[in-house]
Amino acid sequence: MRGEGNKGRLILDAARRVFAATGYYQARVEDIAREAGVGKGTVYEYFTSKEELYLEMLLEVVNSYVAGVRAGLEHAGGDIREKLFFTGRHLCSFLTEHGQLARMVLQDPGPINFKFTDHLRTIRRKMVEMVAALLRDTIPGSIPQEEAEVAARFFLAGLAGVVYPENMQTLAPQENLRTAVDVFVQGVSETFGRERG
Amino acid sequence: MRGEGNKGRLILDAARRVFAATGYYQARVEDIAREAGVGKGTVYEYFTSKEELYLEMLLEVVNSYVAGVRAGLEHAGGDIREKLFFTGRHLCSFLTEHGQLARMVLQDPGPINFKFTDHLRTIRRKMVEMVAALLRDTIPGSIPQEEAEVAARFFLAGLAGVVYPENMQTLAPQENLRTAVDVFVQGVSETFGRERG
Amino acid sequence: MRGEGNKGRLILDAARRVFAATGYYQARVEDIAREAGVGKGTVYEYFTSKEELYLEMLLEVVNSYVAGVRAGLEHAGGDIREKLFFTGRHLCSFLTEHGQLARMVLQDPGPINFKFTDHLRTIRRKMVEMVAALLRDTIPGSIPQEEAEVAARFFLAGLAGVVYPENMQTLAPQENLRTAVDVFVQGVSETFGRERG
Amino acid sequence: MRGEGNKGRLILDAARRVFAATGYYQARVEDIAREAGVGKGTVYEYFTSKEELYLEMLLEVVNSYVAGVRAGLEHAGGDIREKLFFTGRHLCSFLTEHGQLARMVLQDPGPINFKFTDHLRTIRRKMVEMVAALLRDTIPGSIPQEEAEVAARFFLAGLAGVVYPENMQTLAPQENLRTAVDVFVQGVSETFGRERG
DNA sequence: TATGAATGAGCGTTCATTCAT
DNA sequence: AATGAATGAACGCTCATTCAT
């Protein structure tokens, strides 16, 4: 993005909505421009290409995701259950808000985003480490680093399955989250909190 | 697909490889034809459109996924750990083999596949029910149906996070799987196997 | 056409129906083959190309048209009115039967048929001459050759306007024909049958 | 057509020339664009499809035809011969200018133009009525409406046969026209101007 | 001889990008 | 800076023609 003017902001927001609604290839630059209320050419004043616009937009989304997870994990005064629950809460609203885009962030972004893959990998790894650290710091007993990371991956990916919008019809998402967090924390505690057989 | 002749098979296989490598929109019909070793027009002798080819290919992939999960869950003579472990093994090789496509199956297929969404939803639900039934039948204590399903979702989605190829550099995938299954089974047992606080 | 076997006949007939129904470009060789009850490749055993098939078919149609007009004009025992009336009757059924094709014959065949244009021109000229001869032989008074030909052209083209299927809703075509022939014969008689002012 | 800007005009004119020269199916959109001196994509800025472009172009041609016929029939101060003569003059230059297209207008447009058929039918009917009215208003004696229309059809179609460019080598077109109009007017006068036998 | 599976040239259309205003 | 008219590369699909059987 060239400047941080008002127009650039409008375009990024419009891009997020349009890309989220239809995916990268279905979205036309003209649609985004119209959604932003600017001319088609203006998009190219702020971004060098459709791809760059997409990547910049995705970066913002990813950053907001990371910030949310971090906020959840650092949720002041909570025990581990509370922290993980808040993390899930964030994930839930993130999925609700960003739909299609969220999938790209949580999983691989697909081949569209080769240039983004490394960054996403880094992001995911950082979050895994955060959760792993939480587990090792909080759960009684000593959890090997690698196994803590496996558990963290399991948790973060599992959360997405639980809070997926399509799954939230029978139970309130809160209830789903409580259950998942309980199972996970219990499981980690039991598995690593005592001598393992 | 028109017939089950040799060419149709070649084209489907080529389509799987090309779509997996580049995604739906990037894949050109001509690429698929070349990969299959046939002419461009031949593709249209067997499939009415690029979209139909894609959907038909995806259906095969989904079916192989379901068959593998089912085989894992019914793994003869194993206890629940063993069954879930084998399920994870299948998932692991599935992800390794089908790359990009696997994501579409495991998560939402995105807007390309609107026509497929319902089928995928059904598939995922069926698998959740299978895992939930296994939990209720195997874990001592009584687990409410809805919570069993939440746990099942958590497990299936979590597995994918653990066995993702990109995550399999430090630990052997087998080890990752063992850990995740242990955590999960312990967690469910502890959470539902006794009075819940 | 290579031989005069049964298949060749079937294909020509099918070609006439299909071309008449949809026009040259819309007709697919496969449609014609199916209509003829033969394989697609067989068409190419009898005709070297779609275009050749079309031209041979059109030649047949043109010949039958010419034969009909000639038969009408030579209608034994009739006076000029009767002869022209029978000519019109033939034209009428020709238009009804061959629809789209008839237009190509009566008017220019268009650029599709460059190779045919000369032949069609010859055909039309021949018919003009036949009618012109009839006029000069039958109408009292002396009609200059060139003006007889103009009148003949006027008559042949005018007929088509009168017997066009779309125009045959109010009056029986017979009545239309009678009127047109009357007007024409009266006109020629009056114009050329006496001293012209 | 989107606007009435310069480019749209250029494209329509180019389309008329190219379609007239080669017919609908042979004409490539790229040819039309080149003929108009614009890029291929520009055509689609002004017309939604090749078909729409064709139809819009044809509409213009038809309108100019109708206007010319009307002008001829209303030719101030002329008697009926003069009016019909001027109508023929217009038809003649129309055929000369628009070649292949003219045929589509004068006769059925063929299956390409299904959507246009109704409009063309209406146009032709309107012109038949105009000529029929002229006959009934001008020729002494009472001509039944239906027979006046038949005569009008005969005249309009016959004219085309007379003024066809290919026929204009021996006699000056003017002469042809005079002859045809004379024959026709004499014919109608004699046939309807007195008691009919 | 007869067939239809296989082919690829050809074309209509889309849309990211450019550039004159 | 802002615009949108103009552009043409790219691609899905059709169908006349070929050829192995």
Q: How many CB atoms lie within 10 A of CB B165?
A: 13
**pTM over cut 0.85:** yes
Tokens of C12: 């020509």
Please report which confidence band the pLDDT of residue C22 belongs to, taking 50, 70 and 90 as the band edges.
confident
Q: Looking at B1-10, B183-192, C44-53, which range is the least confident one?
A: B1-10
Read off φ and ψ for residue C75, nearest 5 degrees: -45, 110
Please answer whether residues C70 and C131 qualify as being in contact, where contact means their C-beta atoms are separated by less than 8 angstroms.
no
Does the pLDDT of residue C115 top 70, yes or no? no
Q: In whole numbers, what is the pLDDT of chain C averaged over residues?
A: 85
Is pLDDT at B77 greater than 90 in this prediction? no
Does C120 score more than 50 pLDDT?
A: yes
Can you tell me the distance from the alpha carbon of D15 to that of C21, in angstroms, rounded to the nearest whole number?
Answer: 26
Q: How far is CA A155 from CA A68, A122, A185, B15, in A?
A: 16, 18, 9, 34
Q: State whether residue C79 is helix, strand or coil.
A: coil
Task: Count CA atoms closer than 13 A to B109's CA, side-chain side.
Answer: 24
DSSP B111: G
Structural tokens at position D158: 């016959």
The answer, yes or no, to whether C and D have at least 3 beta-carbon pairs within 8 Å is yes
Distance D97 CA to E17 C1' (A): 40
Greatest mean pLDDT among A193-197, B21-25, C40-44 lies in C40-44
- Which of D88, D19, D6 has the alpha carbon at shortest distance from D46? D6
Q: State the sign of the Cα–Cα–Cα–Cα dihedral A19, A20, A25, A26.
A: negative
| Residue-averaged pLDDT of chain A | 85
Q: Are C29 and C43 in contact (CB under 8 A)?
A: yes
Q: Which residue has the higher pLDDT, D119 or C150?
A: C150
SS3 state at B144: coil
Structure tokens at B33: 């034809």
Residue A152 has pLDDT above 50, yes or no: yes
| Residue B128: alpha-carbon gap to chain centroid | 12
Q: Which residues of chain C are within 8 Å of residue D121 when distances are taken between CB atoms?
A: 166
Contacts of B167 (CB under 8 A, 6+ apart): A153, B161, B176
Nearest to B186 among A156, A161, A190 (CB): A190
* CB distance C97 to C90 below 8 Å: no
Distance separating the N- and C-terminal Cα atoms of chain D: 56
Most confident residue range from A51-55, B20-24, B112-116, B192-196: A51-55
Which other chains touch chain A, taking contact as 3+ CB pairs less than 8 Å apart?
A: B
So what's the pLDDT on residue B154?
94
C 142-181 → D contacts, CB under 8 A: 146-147, 149-151, 153-162, 164, 166-167, 170-171, 175-176, 179-180
Q: Is the dihedral of CA D120, D123, D129, D132 positive or negative?
A: negative
Contacts of C9 (CB under 8 A, 6+ apart): none
How many angstroms separate the CA of A149 from the C1' of E21? 59
Please give the C-alpha separations between residue B43 and each of B29, B101, D177, in angstroms, as whole numbers: 8, 20, 59
Between these two residues, A160 and D15, which has the higher pLDDT value?
A: D15
CA D152 to CA D132: how far, in whole Å? 5
CA D135 to C1' E1, whole Å? 64
Q: Distance between CA atoms of B181 and A158, rounded to whole angstroms?
A: 12
From chain B residues 19-58, the ones with a CB under 8 A of any chain A CB are: 21-26
Of residues D175 and D42, more confidence is placed in D42
CA of A112 to C1' of F10 (A): 17
Q: Is B142 exposed, middle or buried (0-12, 13-18, 19+ CB in 10 A)?
A: exposed
Asked whether the beta carbons of B153 and B128 are under 8 A apart, the reply is: yes
Q: What is the pLDDT of residue A109?
A: 44
> Residue A164's pLDDT is what?
75
Asked whether B139 and B79 are in contact (CB, 8 A), the reply is no
CA atoms of A3 and B27, how far apart (whole Å): 35
Q: Which nucleotides of E are covered by protein (CB under 7 A)?
A: 1-20
Per-residue pLDDT at D196 exceeds 50: no
- C-alpha D147/C-alpha D192 separation (Å) is 9
CA distance linking residue A141 with residue B149, whole number of Å:
30
- Look at A157 and B158 and tell me if their CB atoms are within 8 Å: yes
Q: In this structure, which long-range contacts are made by residues D5-14, counting pairs with CB atoms below 8 Å and at least 24 apart in sequence?
A: D5/D46, D7/D36, D7/D38, D7/D42, D7/D45, D7/D46, D8/D46, D10/D36, D10/D37, D10/D38, D11/D36, D11/D38, D11/D42, D11/D43, D11/D46, D11/D47, D11/D53, D12/D53, D12/D56, D12/D57, D12/D60
Nearest CA distance, C157 vs chain D (angstrom): 5
Q: What is the mean pLDDT of residues D83-103?
A: 83
- Cα–Cα distance between A156 and A73 in angstroms, integer? 12
Report the C-alpha gap between A193 and C5 in whole angstroms.
Answer: 92
For B191, the closest chain A residue by CA position comes to A183
pLDDT in tens, B90-131: 888 888 788 777 766 555 445 555 667 778 888 888 999 999
Q: What is the CA radius of gyration of chain D?
A: 19
pLDDT of residue B186 exceeding 60, the answer is: yes
D73 CB-near residues (< 8 Å, 6+ apart): D83, D84, D86, D87, D130, D131, D134
Residues of chain D found within 8 Å of residue C153, distances taken between Cβ atoms: 158, 161-162, 164, 167, 176
Query: B172 by DSSP, 3-state: which?
Result: coil
Residue A171: list chain B partners with CB under 8 A: 146, 150
Q: Taking the C1' atom of F11, which residue's CA lies nearest?
A: B28
With touching defined as 3 or more inter-chain CB pairs under 8 Å, the answer for chains C and A is no
**Which amino acid does the sequence have at C190?**
E
Question: What radius of gyration do chain A's Cα atoms show?
Answer: 19
Q: How far is C6 from chain D (nearest CA, A)?
A: 30
End-to-end CA distance of chain A: 55
Q: What is the dihedral of CA A116, A122, A127, A130, to 10 degrees?
A: -160
**Alpha-carbon distance D134 to D148, whole Å?**
9
Determine the residue type at A160.
A
> Cα C191 to the chain's mean position, in Å?
27
**Cβ-contact B15, B54 below 8 angstroms:** yes
- A110/D19: higher pLDDT: D19
Q: Is the pLDDT of residue A3 over 60?
A: no
Lowest mean pLDDT among B129-133, B163-167, D37-41: B163-167
Average pLDDT (A37-49) is 96
Q: Which residue has the tokens 């002008």?
A: D71
Residues of C in contact with D196 (CB under 8 A): 182
Angstrom CA distances, A63 to A72, A85, A102, A115, D61, stand at: 14, 20, 12, 16, 61
> Which structural domains are found in chain B, ordered by start?
1-48 (1.10.10.60), 58-193 (1.10.357.10)
How far is the C-alpha of B104 from the C-alpha of B111, rounded, in Å?
11
Residue in chain C closest to D27 (alpha carbons) equals: C111
- pLDDT for C5: 65
